[in-house]
């Protein structure tokens, strides 16, 4: 089945807006007439822990979970998280990631070290890696909370969903006052991914 199925794994840290991004992505895929499934875990996992969301779309999707080694794109809000889930990527797959690391309490307190060569390690595992200064980019656009939409803009270059559906999905799901700045973030994301 998965010949016709697109698999995107979103990952980040609780509170970063990963789940809103996967809502927008799923809505855009649904608007383009596909069967869509999305899966994530709530509860204990949310309290500053690692958050992932699996989004799959195609003609008919059974499993709500992506199989390891089959994700077309990993869309990551934090580079260490991209590394954690990089075994989901298919050979030749794309990793799009925000560059800014977020240290866990264990790293802050010195109990663990953060892999400072994380981007290099991602490069080794990805068919293509595009790291961006996501927070800096969206702050420059006037909405520091739009990292998720910026990343979706990058994703839109690599998946087959028409632009109108993206815009409709964004407008329906972000706070009204921020629609303009989010749409700008989306366009900036497309530029950064080289559209």
Q: Which is nearer to another protein, 66 or 193 (CB)?
A: 66
Closer of 78 and 190 to another protein (Cβ): 78
The residue (of 115 and 187) whose beta carbon lies closer to another protein is: 115
Q: Rank residues 11 and 193 by Cβ distance to another protein and give the closer one.
A: 11
The residue among 87 and 180 lying less far from another protein, judged by its C-beta, is 87
At its nearest, how many Å lie between another protein and the CB of residue 73? 16
Neighbours of 136 (CB within 10 A): 13
Work out how close the CB of 137 gets to another protein at its nearest, in angstroms, rounded to a whole number. Answer: 16
Provide the minimum distance between the beta carbon of 194 and another protein in the complex, in angstroms, as a whole number.
26
CB of 80 to another protein, least distance (A): 5
Which residues are at the interface with another protein (CB under 8 A)? 1-2, 13-14, 26-27, 30, 35-50, 61-70, 80-81, 83-91, 103-115, 121, 125, 144
How far is residue 170's CA from residue 155's CA, in Å, rounded to a whole number? 14
Identify the CA nearest to 194 among candidates 75, 96, 80, 84.
96
CB under 8 Å to 189, separation ≥6 — which residues? 149, 150, 151, 152, 153, 154, 155, 156
181 closest CA partner among 157, 147, 136, 132:
147
Backbone conformation region of residue 126, classed left if phi is above 0, alpha if psi is from -120 to 50, else beta = beta
Question: Closest approach of Cβ 189 to another protein, in Å?
Answer: 21
d(CA 127, CA 90): 9
Rounded CA-CA distance 94/9 in Å is 11
């Amino acid at each position: 089945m998965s010949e016709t199925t697109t698999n995107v794994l979103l990952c980040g840290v609780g509170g970063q807006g990963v789940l809103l991004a996967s809502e927008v992505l799923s809505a855009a895929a649904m608007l383009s007439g596909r069967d869509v499934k999305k899966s994530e875990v709530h509860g204990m996992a949310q309290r500053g822990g690692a958050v992932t969301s699996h989004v799959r779309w195609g003609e008919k999707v059974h499993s709500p979970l992506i199989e390891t080694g089959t994700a077309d794109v990993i869309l990551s809000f934090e580079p260490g998280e991209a590394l954690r889930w990089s075994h989901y990527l298919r050979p030749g797959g794309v990793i799009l990631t925000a560059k800014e690391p977020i240290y866990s309490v264990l790293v802050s307190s010195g109990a663990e070290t953060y892999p400072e060569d994380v981007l290099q390690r991602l490069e080794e595992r990805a068919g293509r890696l595009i790291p961006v200064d996501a927070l800096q980019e969206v702050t420059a656009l006037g909405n520091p909370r739009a990292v998720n939409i910026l990343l979706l803009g990058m994703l839109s270059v690599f998946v087959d969903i028409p632009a109108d559906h993206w815009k409709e999905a964004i407008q329906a799901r972000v706070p009204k006052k921020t629609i303009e700045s989010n749409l700008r973030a989306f366009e900036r994301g497309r530029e950064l991914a080289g559209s």
